[in-house]
Structure formats: structure tokens, C-alpha cells
Structure 1
């Protein structure tokens, strides 16, 4: 009797605890597992915090895990594509006074497109896997993208661009776990990285967001005014600020919040009374939509998140010609052009897009 061939999974390993435990769980489930360490693009001279992905230290940590698990690990240089699709677009969006989400773009163009294609061709993989906290469920002939069990770590917001072709080749081993459980598993397996801190910064930006942008943008200082037009300070360039921002404005007597950006007059508009300001919006328009399991019938009601850590809010989604309009039951604070809006029905990601 022929022995059944194991399904091959290529897992993206970053040197962190999540991808390490994900690899271990896949082995336990009987898969043929291979690790891949992706090398992105980073500018010279930028100061980075600890635990940066793609560093030599992170690769060595990923290799140590792979060696202990008895699996191979390969380096995959995606720097050229990462620079063009993620970094350059990040800079151009800020130049246009938008607030992009590079993690969403990285998942769309690098991890679940380029990495997926390379894994299927170079390694003859059946699936790819990552350490994301999310779930995939097949219902009939469709694949659904669901929130991860851990409400605090759920990363489904960043994954709304996955389509059916990607989802049929994707495994999220951590979807049914919470972070404390993952650290406990890592410690039980004597992984040296079991207590390694999560990376908090955008991987290529470094410790100072404004310093990074200052390298690439032509910044023009100007006036900071309140909502009545009274000058109360100076800004360092409109591209360094976003609607809803509180930190880094540099004004006394606060806290102050950015409520508007006037590109024509080079004015940064702020308030110290956000509850009575223009910082709240009852509706928004979005584009660059992706519907995970196919476009729904319009109009429809659901919940939506306008940023990663925001609370899902009830809304109505309407389509007029090719334009998508979203009306909220409760006005939303600090709606920022360039950020992603993600639509949910209970735990399922319906789709999402970019706020105009």
C-alpha cells in the first residue's frame, strides 16, 4: 500500500514567537513544513528598535527554531518588490497628504501574492502559512476569512485583500489560539524566543516616523491654527500629520488634536475640544475595494472598522455607479484618507477598501 504523501506547507518565519509556534503546530498536524525568511528593503542610516524583522539577529533566531524543529529554512529576497510596492507608495501617499497602511499593502502584494506564487512554484507547496491571528473556513465552495479567536491580537483587519485563490492556499495555525497560549507553547518547547517582544513599529520606518519622511519629502513649515482660524503655533510640514493625531503636534495647553489639513493655505487645523469639533464624520467614501467571497448585493448593513484598533461600528454600505458610500449610525472620529476600512458580518470579513 502506497504511503500517503504529506501536504507541503511553506511558512513565513520572521524570527518571532508567532511564526515559530505556527511552524511547530503545522508539524504536529502532519504537514511537510519548510521555512522561508523574507528579506525586505531598508534604507541606510535609519535607527531601528529591537526585534526588527529581516535583521541578521532575527534570521539567526528563525534558523535556530527551524534547526530545532528539524525543518529547512530558506532566504527569499523580496527587497526590490517591497521597495516599489510598499515603501515608494507609502512615501507618495504621505506626499499627497494621505495616511497609508503599509501592513495592508505588504499582505496584499508581498506575503499573499509574491510569497504565495514563489512558494507554489519554487517549493511545489500546497499551502503557505503565516503567524497571523486569523482563520480561514471553507463553506461549500467558498472560503471565508474570519477573525482570530484572540480579540486583542486579531489581525483579520490587515487581510481583507485576500481573494478566493489566495485563501485556498493559506493556513493560519494560530487562529484558534490566544497570545498567552502561544507563548506558553513556545516556553514548553524550550524556544529561546518565547518571551521575545512583539514588534510595534512599521518595519522599514524605524524609531522616528517624522525623520524617515523628512528624508524623502519636501517639507514646508507653516502655521497651526484652531478651528476659528487663530494662529497658535507652527508646523514642520503638513505631510507629518494626520487627522486625529494627538502626539507630536508640539503645542502647550493641550491635549490638541488635528482636525483638518488645508493644503492650499499650508495650514494645520487643531482643536483641544474634540467632542465639539469637526473631527467626527457621519459618512465616508472608499475605493480600491476587495470582496473576499465575491461582491455582495447593495445596499447592505454590517459593521466596519476604520483603523486596526478601532471598535467595529454599525453602518450601511451603498454603491452608486462605481462609488462606495458608507453611512455610520454613530459619527466616526478621525476618518483619515488612505487608511483602510474593513467590513464585517459578525466574525466574517466581507471585504474592505481604502478611504478617500
Structure 2
């Protein structure tokens, strides 16, 4: 079961740089390519190193993981390099994550990490090492189209599908990067790690947000932006002021527990207004949305995003990595990219990603995606921000 990377010439003539995080997935990629006869070079990025994170289960790209990657490289007999990318990672990922949270958004830092540090900076490093390709341990697939370019697809293992986090990959990057695990399940990957004699075979998977050692986002943001968490009001969607809060960074859209006010009904965070520092709460039905407006859209389907008509084209869309794609209409209106979800979705927040596919099937092609700039809800209106009583209808949040 050796991967074929669609590279010209003999395998031993093709150098492939493997992004080794120290986990089982990227380690198996290195092992597969080494056994297949490619000239493999392992590269590990040190992205952060802040105390407890280096020893926490589920951390990645820090102290222990670097040691694990080095041990794997020694076992496989491949050269291994560690690159200090801490400053780049902080500027491109951590700082933008904090800024987004301060503006009441729910960012997905794994998207920006893949878009900038891993598939931009590391790709340049791979080329400087004379590599014909960069390989990673992501559970996605890519295939040649017969046009000189490659396309991105969902993997065989739907439970491990990471295509949601890779929608921002450009066509140039996609043509250079390879994903050897796209046709494997996680169980098969671990079996291969055992067969290769790798010490990381039973290692825990890394968590999504690797640089939050405690799992408390607010703590990280307060450390990065001291004094930025300002108090404000907790307001019901009907206009009533229910209480006070210590900073909108302590809340996320869709949150139910820990809001800090008592009411005769279950309340959810519906909207976060960074300008007025208001946390807007309401019943679950107030979280429903069917219309999303996107920014920073990346298109890797056929044609161009500019060719999308105002009448729209049918796609399948995901607004969370753990949710299956649902039917949607993708349209270009007044310069905006708009997604209309056929079934709607609860708790969608600005800052999240919306990713497009050509079907809901396993192996569906990724067409692109973008960051959610605003959503349309049934209850939230501009009156929330000004303190006016809310009216019925739909408005952007």
C-alpha cells in the first residue's frame, strides 16, 4: 500500500518534504513515502512553546512533539529539521485569532494556520530544499484533473474529514501538496504505525486549537490583549436588560451554560456586539439562520468565483467541521458572496468558515469557502445595538 504522488520520473529522484507534527498521522506519511522509495525529508515547525502546553496530551508543534518527530525520523532513517516559526505563527494565527474574538467573532485558527504558516511558509521552505512536493498527514484527498492542476476531495474516513480546514488552499499550493492518508481510515493509519515500529502509534490525537493549553480562550486573549475585556450589558432579544458581563470574549454564539443571568426560559447567546459590548441572548429559535454573507472567499472549483451568477448555483455547504454538508445556494449579489442554506442552521457565528462541496457524498470535491462576515437571523436586528426594543423580521447580525 504505497502512495503514488503523480510526480514525474522515478520515485528515488523525487524529494518529498513531509510536515511532521510529531503525531501518528504525519509520522505514517513519512513512513509510507520512505518505504515507497521517495527521497524523504522530515520538517517540524516549532509554532509555540508556553509551559504546560509542551506536556499536555493533545498539544502539537511544541516541546514533546518535536522530540517525538525526531525519534520517528531516526526510526525511519530520514533527515529531520526543526524550524522556528514562533514569530510567524503568532503574527499570522494567534494575533488574528485574538483580534477576531475581541470583535465578537468565533474564528477558526486552524484555517489560517494551514493557509499561511503551513501551506505558504513551509511550502516555500520545501521548494528551497529542492522538493518536488510537500506531504502532510491531513485526512483529505487530492487528484490530478488532467488539466495540469489538482482538485481537493473529502477522504474515505468521514469521521476524520479535515477538508473544512483546508478550503483556503490556493490552486498553486494544491498542485504542490500531497495527502497520502486520503484513502485510509484512522484505524488503518495506526496499524501502519505499529507495523513501522513507530513509538507514536498509540499517541493521542492533537486538538483543534493547539495554542490554548487550558482550553479557556478568554485566558489566552486576556494575556495577549491586557485590558481588552471590557464589561457590558446582557440584553434579551426583546430589549430587556438582564444583567452585566465581564467581557464579550467570555461568550460564544450558541452558548447556553454560564451566561450568568436567571430567566424563566433557557437562554442562548444569539449575538455579540463588540461596539456596544452587549451580549444578546434569547430562545433557541433566535439562533436559526438561512443566509450567510462571506468575506475572503477562496474558489478552487472550475471557473472563477466572479462567474457565480446572482441567481446562484447549487452547492453543498458546511458551517462546522463536525456537521455534514447540507444543500445550499451560492450566489454573488452586489459584490457579496451569499450562501442560502436550504435547511438552515442554529448558532452560526461571524468568524466561522463556510465550505462548499459539489455533493454530500464521501469523496466529494471541495469547491472553496470563505469566512462568515455576517448572518441573517429571524430575531436580531440593529435595535439590539442601540438598546431599542426589537422588532419582528430578519436582519444581519
TM-score normalised over the length of structure 1:
0.91
Matched, 1:278 2:295: no
Q: Please, which of 118, 129, 135 is the counterpart of residue 135 of structure 2?
A: 129
Q: Deviations over 1:6-36 (max 9, x none)?
A: 2110001111101111111112222111100
SS of the counterpart of 1:278? helix
Q: State the alpha-carbon separation in 2 of the partners of residues 265 and 287 from structure 1.
A: 23
Q: State the alpha-carbon separation in 2 of the partners of residues 250 and 201 from structure 1.
A: 27
Q: State the alpha-carbon separation in 1 of the partners of residues 340 and 268 from structure 2.
A: 24
Q: State the alpha-carbon separation in 2 of the partners of residues 98 and 155 from structure 1.
A: 22
Shift of the 176–267 alpha-carbon distance from structure 1 to 2, 3 Å rule, reads: same
Give the C-alpha shift of residue 64 in structure 1. 1.0
Q: Deviations over 1:309-352 (max 9, x none)?
A: 12211111111242111112122211211111100002000011
Consecutive unaligned residues of structure 1, counting only runs of 5 or more, are none
Shift of the 304–56 alpha-carbon distance from structure 1 to 2, 3 Å rule, reads: same
The 10-residue stretch of structure 1 (38-47 or 291-300) with the greater mean CA deviation from structure 2: 38-47
Q: State the alpha-carbon separation in 2 of the partners of residues 81 and 302 from structure 1.
A: 35
Shift of the 41–56 alpha-carbon distance from structure 1 to 2, 3 Å rule, reads: closer
Aligned length: 351
Matched, 1:24 2:31: yes
Shift of the 264–61 alpha-carbon distance from structure 1 to 2, 3 Å rule, reads: closer
Matched, 1:325 2:338: yes
The 10-residue stretch of structure 1 (77-86 or 336-345) with the greater mean CA deviation from structure 2: 77-86
Matched, 1:355 2:366: no
Could you say what the CA RMSD is over the residues aligned between the two structures, in angstroms?
A: 2.2
Partner of 1:154: 161
Q: Deviations over 1:52-76 (max 9, x none)?
A: 2232211111111111111011011
Consecutive unaligned residues of structure 2, counting only runs of 5 or more, are 1-8, 374-397
Matched, 1:209 2:217: yes
Q: State the alpha-carbon separation in 2 of the partners of residues 189 and 33 from structure 1.
A: 15
SS of the counterpart of 1:309? coil
Q: Is the 8 A contact 2:53 2:59 kept in 1?
A: no
Q: Is the 8 A contact 1:48 1:206 kept in 2?
A: no
The 10-residue stretch of structure 1 (286-295 or 70-79) with the greater mean CA deviation from structure 2: 286-295
Shift of the 4–338 alpha-carbon distance from structure 1 to 2, 3 Å rule, reads: closer
Give the C-alpha shift of residue 220 in structure 1. 1.6
Q: State the alpha-carbon separation in 2 of the partners of residues 251 and 355 from structure 1.
A: 28
Shift of the 255–68 alpha-carbon distance from structure 1 to 2, 3 Å rule, reads: farther
Partner of 2:150: 143
Aligned positions of 1:100-139 closer than 5 A:
100-121=107-128, 123-139=129-145
The 10-residue stretch of structure 1 (259-268 or 76-85) with the greater mean CA deviation from structure 2: 259-268
Q: Deviations over 1:138-160 (max 9, x none)?
A: 11213110011110001011111
